Structure 1
């Protein structure tokens, strides 16, 4: 089954955005979204009341795009999303989840790092056609919802799969990609793509298949822009959107000490400090600059910073609209802290 000719779209592509509370399409600059990994008990436990309050705060602050995955807490994040999102009209928000990992019942609650105290399931990677079809059905059950807008093929990259990633990519190309293309063509989902931390699988997917949107974490930020040179121009040419995950680079841009979930190098900390000093000199918050920089690129449809607590959700919403003077962007480019050709707000 052909999944599209490399280099150009073979159809009118569906994109997604929220306007006046109604989902029509994604289009840049996209809305602030809500990423579901923290509510899968990422690194530490979030109680049910706090998780529900965080999702409710997101809704009340205007967020209408929600992303989750079976992997997050071995199904816990999907359950929590469904418990809250069922309160609202289904056509009023965009929901994405992921495929590529199957959950198998296991009362021993095996480790599923970095998630702790998840649900009693064993997580198994499986990018085959049948597994993806089953995964979508299982997500319906966990969410308690009958509609998923976007399905991302999860972690189909070397950082998660090591040297086996190319072999698994071929499994996905003939399995997961085919299954999701079928579901999209049938109108079951509105679009599909990859949810990864590296650009290479996205480039290959554009060359060999017909995705609609990517969720790319940590590869387009104030500190790190490897997506800018090749992937984003390819996306622009094909009319493919990008959701940016990890706009704070796992905490370094929000005042932490970790970059890509490890202790940040002295060089990266120094770069963060230089950016922060420029922001402070012009009366701006580096966190606002981090969020708004990601959203300014034309291919970016949404950004999904992580948040475990309602106060953090509300803070992200405030930071997204706070003023960042044009002089910040000018100085960051002059000091070569961001690329000269990187789009900036305004």
Structure 2
């Protein structure tokens, strides 16, 4: 099994590399059950024991597939996280929804209230074939997703949602909770309201996008909040490089971004690393990061990334890429 790192001040320990299950929810392309089983088994064989999913991923398809795979594994042998904020209910058959192909026939509504959170979890537990979640993330709250409508959602969360999460934790239905988002400001906002065991941050603490370094990293260190990093390739551009049609932050990359990535690529290659390898090592070695999510439906992609991480970066890697020295911030290990 891979190295274990602690989540906040809880007794939850996650593997340093985790499997992000959005792709097996058919994100961008339909994935067969056989492909799903193969990539999940490859992750398991590589020692990964932390799996992250959400109702959003294929309107429950990712959770359902992950639940089938993990059913044969002893429950204490792995860590499972899912998300709340979207409540699923039976709905029409669709060819595509929110970028996911052939989603399960479910409607979705946003609900960050206590009742909504518990209803979301009950559905997740059924699809995942489990009676508890190790970590639950409040999913996509913030203006990045909701714009002006976020005020109502935040009010629901503050009035009853956070209290319900704590009660679920006290009852043993969840072992830790936090927030899973693509923006840093809402993380800072919530940390003024409550303690969070972990923040799953997508795309805002990467080799390219350092937004989280402006306040959030230090705040997490002070509060004992672990970081779990997703989107470390920034929608693909740190994996493909600055090629024509490369995407950054869920859209085609601007000329400014292409130029920045061109410079990062040259810097990485000057150290004997590929751009993708440099992005992986940056996220994996960053102080305070408990786990790095690798989200893919392809065995070849998973193995390639794990092979990259197995090779140690040059001794001056952190200095060259501007990440803080390992000793300057206390990692939550």
- TM-score, normalised relative to structure 2: 0.90
Query: In the alignment, what sits opposite 1:122?
Result: 107
Query: In the alignment, what sits opposite 1:265?
Result: 254
Please tell me whether residue 299 in structure 1 is matched to residue 301 in structure 2.
no
Please tell me whether residue 151 in structure 1 is matched to residue 136 in structure 2.
yes
Match of 1:222 among 200, 207, 221: 207
Match of 1:41 among 26, 37, 48: 26
Q: Does the 8 Å contact 1:110/1:120 carry over to 2?
A: no
Query: In the alignment, what sits opposite 2:45?
Result: 60
CA distance in structure 1 between the partners assigned to 2:221 and 2:24 by the alignment: 32
Query: In the alignment, what sits opposite 1:98?
Result: 83
Match of 2:180 among 168, 171, 195: 195
Q: Does the 8 Å contact 2:132/2:172 carry over to 1?
A: no
RMSD: 1.9
Q: How much has 1:342 moved relative to structure 2?
A: 6.4
Q: Does the 8 Å contact 1:297/1:344 carry over to 2?
A: no
**For structure 1, which segment, 292-301 or 108-117, has the greater mean C-alpha deviation from structure 2 after superposition?**
108-117
Query: In the alignment, what sits opposite 1:318?
Result: 307
User: How many correspondences in the alignment?
Assistant: 317
CA distance in structure 1 between the partners assigned to 2:72 and 2:84 by the alignment: 25
Deviations 1:178-226 (A, max 9, x none): 1111111222211101110001111111100122111110000000111
Secondary structure in 1 aligned to 2:295?
Answer: coil
CA distance in structure 2 between the partners assigned to 1:124 and 1:60 by the alignment: 36
Deviations 1:115-160 (A, max 9, x none): 1211000111111111111111111110112221011111001121
Deviating 4+ runs (over 4 angstroms): 342-345
CA distance in structure 2 between the partners assigned to 1:292 and 1:170 by the alignment: 38
Query: In the alignment, what sits opposite 2:3?
Result: none
Query: In the alignment, what sits opposite 1:179?
Result: 164
Q: How much has 1:113 moved relative to structure 2?
A: 0.9
Match of 1:278 among 254, 259, 267: 267
Deviations 1:242-287 (A, max 9, x none): 1101011110100151101110111111211211112212211222
Query: In the alignment, what sits opposite 1:8?
Result: none
**For structure 1, which segment, 234-243 or 305-314, has the greater mean C-alpha deviation from structure 2 after superposition?**
305-314
Q: Does the 8 Å contact 1:278/1:328 carry over to 2?
A: no
Query: In the alignment, what sits opposite 1:3?
Result: none
Structure 1, unaligned runs of 5 or more:
1-11, 17-24, 334-338
CA distance in structure 2 between the partners assigned to 1:269 and 1:15 by the alignment: 42
- TM-score, normalised relative to structure 1: 0.87
